Structure 1
């Protein structure tokens, strides 16, 4: 009896040991499998609000971004351009360099991530030649990618925003290849890539510069796709709203069919145009307010486009028509972005904007910190 019990105990010990060994092996296999599975990165904050600060408004823009930093979780100083060979250059004049550095320091001290914008601006003008040389020469393209990554790393930026405009339909594949290569290089350094694209409602859009930008391909490579939801009417067009809400919604509807919503960022203009004799001059909200006050022209609000406007006659007898943006028109776009479930918005802060914009922004799209 004792012998049988001892044998039984040995059998149970052997079985228990086997089970323990099998469990150990299974656990190791499971660990290998789980480790090999693609990891889903932590999701971005629920709402992104970017202050886009052109260099001519950098001081005031920085003041506004810092003062309202509870509404803003990223800034994009629009300060870099290209030289004639496609190398990096600054857009601002040399005498402004010290002030630009001071403003960037203030933004860093406020702990707001900086993703500066790089545009194909050469000597103050949009130029096609320099960027075309980069896109269609593999050696130049790689050098350009390396130069951008080095800039981002050296200045400890969070990433870069590419704003290459007025490309041609034949640049489509080359521009996509550049975005792919730059995105991979930045991601390898833990940095982000944003790409500004013209707003369109079909793949072809309305002209060559729309054809050149492949929403779907760029949306796969970039962390942010910034849709320029403005200039529906512009300086050389007939007068009209800068960003009519119906068009903005159509742009978002199309973009969502091509790009993951959590990568779409809607550009919201905070400026307008003053048209006279077939030409429109850009105006800030404050300039529009002063013009309407000076000429006793009470602004009207067009409910169909969600845009304010007014007409006046200047001191020389010239007729003017002004369309601009205020807190109400901006709120309509904030609500459209929220309704579309996209990543967020970037505010094109051309100059002094309507102070009421910020409370409306907080109500519609509170920035996640």
Structure 2
């Protein structure tokens, strides 16, 4: 089902050998330039009416902002069980702050497709995570009660199926109080049939250092939430050195640690729907990567005449190119890397996978996960 383009391949050649019509290859893989396939490019090849078999019993969710293009979101709908709408914030007084623009259209569209929408709660302030908001919240019962009451009313009145709590940079001294707050949210909302999940930074040991992980206790959060979303991405990130965003060997380490603390049926593995384009050479504190979509990355490789490589340990595609005298290195996701991640989630019998995020097109990925209609 996944074919890697060899040097000299054409769409007509591949179609003739596999029996998959050219137009279907183009559509499924969102190929922009029919006359220039990229050596090393991974193509999803499904015949008419053929069903993919990558998903197994995995649940699938994905995050999206209310300003997502409707056509891009609808492209992902056939694969989704949950739509996590990003995001509601809150004030120091515990007053809920809705997203802009209004997200009601996403809630309605999700239910129409049989997808359950979840309200995502974040401690956002001026566009960034604010751990002082978290500190005031978890240390003040009155602020908590105000916020939880407004959460319940919003979930009920807007038609959400539950809440996903995404608090990052939790201070170490707030570790226990944060887990207890999650439990209070679940106790209140669970009484009315709503569920509560928590997104957590990737962690591999109890003693791991770092501002993203020291305030996060997998075991305690697991006891207080229905599901735990492992944010297993951002090893390759905007200001870091070029590398895979979600290297499979690193993801495996996080899952194995999480399974020491939690049952597999509570765990959701994160998958990135994006990559990065780094200028080279990399200079710490200076180099800044550009975020790039997975389809966009292949189009860039085509435009630049690059050859796509595949890292066997990280299980991720990458390539290099030069433009205006500057060398670049690009890491992204393709059907091969997605297959590897889905296999990993199935290997450990996890509850499901979740995408950050649904803002960019990736048709082949959603077709691989589509259980609702023939491929």
**1:293 aligned residue:** 302
Match of 2:36 in 1: none
Q: Secondary structure at the match of 2:241?
A: coil
Q: Indicate which of 50, 55, 64 corresponds to 2:61.
A: 50
**Paired residues, number:** 311
- The worse-fitting range, judged by mean Cα deviation, of 285-294 and 345-354 is 345-354
Give me the TM-score of the superposition, normalised by structure 1.
0.79
**1:126-147 CA distance string (max 9 Å, x none):** 2222222111212112222222
CA deviations 1:305-336 (Å, max 9, x no partner) are 10111112223x22211111111111111110
Q: How far apart are the structure 1 equivalents of 2:334 and 2:255?
A: 21
Separation of aligned partners in 2, 1:173 and 1:331 = 37
2:88 to 80, 85, 95: 80
Deviation at 1:353, TM superposition (A): 3.8
Given the superposition, is the C-alpha separation of residues 159 and 61 from structure 1 closer, same or farther in structure 2, using an over 3 Å criterion?
farther
Q: 1:60 to 1:124 in 2, by over 3 A?
A: farther
2:368 aligned residue: 360
1:15-71 Cα offsets, whole Å, 9 max, x none, are xxxxxxxxxxxxxxxxxxxxxxxxxxxxxx9531112223343524431233x2xx3
Report the equivalent of 1:128: 131
1:26 paired residue number:
none
1:115 and 2:126 matched: no
- Residue 124 of structure 1 and its aligned partner are, at CA, apart by 2.1
Partners of 1:206 and 1:56 lie apart in 2 by 35
Q: Distance in 2 between matches of 1:266 and 1:244?
A: 13
Once residues 154 and 310 of structure 2 are traced to their aligned partners in structure 1, the CA distance between those partners, rounded to angstroms, is 44
CA–CA distance in structure 2, aligned partners of residues 323 and 50 of structure 1: 23
CA offset digits 1:248-307 (Å, max 9, x no partner): 111111111101111101111111111125111211112212221222222211111101
Distance 2:69 2:180 in 1: 32
Please give the TM-score of this superposition, normalised by the length of structure 2: 0.78
Gaps of 5+ in 1: 1-44
More RCO (CA 8 Å, sep 6+): 2
CA deviations over 1:141-169 (Å, ceiling 9, x no partner): 22222221221112121100000111111
| Residue aligning to 1:260 | 263
The answer to whether the 8 Å contact 2:88/2:99 transfers is yes
State the Cα deviation string for residues 342-366 of structure 1 (Å, max 9, x = none): 111112234334322134335xxx6
Partner of 1:63: 74
Change (3 A) 1:175 1:164: same
Q: Which runs of 5+ in 2 are unaligned?
A: 1-55
SS of the equivalent of 2:136 reads helix
Residue 103 to residue 156, structure 1, CA distance change in 2 (3 Å): closer
Q: Distance in 2 between matches of 1:280 and 1:91?
A: 27
Bigger CA radius of gyration? 1
Q: Deviation digits for residues 50-107 of structure 1, max 9, x if unmatched?
A: 12223343524431233x2xx3211112132234544321343xxx33xx33233222
Native 8 Å contact 1:83 1:123 kept in 2? no
* Contact persistence 1:230–1:269 (CA under 8 A): yes
Q: Structure 2 vs 1, CA of residues 208 and 103 (structure 1 numbering), >3 Å: closer, same or farther?
A: closer
